[in-house]
Each structure stands twice: as C-alpha cells, then as structure tokens.
C-alpha cells in the first residue's frame, strides 16, 4: 500500500470489531485502517468514497448486494460493464 493509502473495513460483530481496533492500534496503524461497526448492507450505500480494491468476505447470499455497492465505489469504472454478468453468476449458480 502507498504511503497515502488507507483501508476501510466493515465489521458487524461488535466484539470482533473491538478486537480488530485494538490490534490496529497496537500496530500503530490507526491512521491507515478505519473500522466501521455495523451491517454492510446498511453501511455501504452511505459511503461516499472511491476505492481501488475490494475484498468481500461475508454471507454468500448477500454477495450480489455487496458487489453492486462495491462497483459503484470503484475507481476503475470500466469494470462496471461486467457488473450484471457477475451478479447473475453469483445469484443463479
């Protein structure tokens, strides 16, 4: 990650979020990593940032929701042409 890079992560489980925050603070990475506590289905639509990369590790049934929101926030707009294909593949296979 570049010197000015940052990571936003969403964690629904409050205990896991607290543990993550503690580990981030212990590694002196609080200025680079932001932990958002809550349900990603509710949080993602409210984020007004753009991102270079996404890592989704959540309930598989919600992947189409997460992917759709992630593509809206993607700095690489050319990938939007593939959005519908991936959503269909995730939903119907």
pLDDT for residue 17: 95
pLDDT for residue 67: 85
What integer best gives the mean pLDDT of the chain? Answer: 83
Instruction: Residue 70: name the closest of 93, 40, 90 by CA.
Output: 40
Task: Give, in order, the Cα–Cα distances in Å from 42 to each of 24, 36, 38, 57.
Answer: 24, 11, 8, 16
Q: Is pLDDT at 75 greater than 60 in this prediction?
A: yes
As a whole number of angstroms, the distance between CA 46 and CA 60 comes to 21
How does pLDDT run across 19-36, given as a tens digit for each residue? 999 999 999 999 999 999
Burial 24-37, CB ≥16 within 10 A → b, else e: beeeeeeeebebeb
**26 with 69, same domain?**
no
pLDDT for residue 22: 97
Average pLDDT over residues 9-15: 95
- Boundaries of domain holding 16: 1-38
**61 with 25, same domain?**
no
**66 with 28, same domain?**
no
pLDDT for residue 55: 83
Choice between 84 and 18, residue whose per-residue pLDDT is larger: 18
pLDDT for residue 77: 59
Q: Is pLDDT at 1 greater than 50 in this prediction?
A: yes
**22 with 61, same domain?**
no
């Amino acid at each position: 990650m570049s010197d000015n890079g940052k990571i936003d992560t969403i964690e629904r489980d409050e205990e896991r979020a607290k543990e993550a925050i503690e580990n981030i603070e212990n590694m002196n990475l609080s200025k680079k990593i932001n932990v958002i506590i809550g349900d990603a289905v509710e949080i993602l639509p409210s984020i007004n940032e753009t991102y270079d990369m996404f890592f989704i590790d959540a309930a598989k049934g919600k992947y189409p929701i997460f992917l759709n929101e992630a593509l809206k926030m993607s700095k690489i707009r050319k990938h939007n042409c593939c959005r519908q294909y991936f959503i269909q593949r995730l939903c119907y296979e």
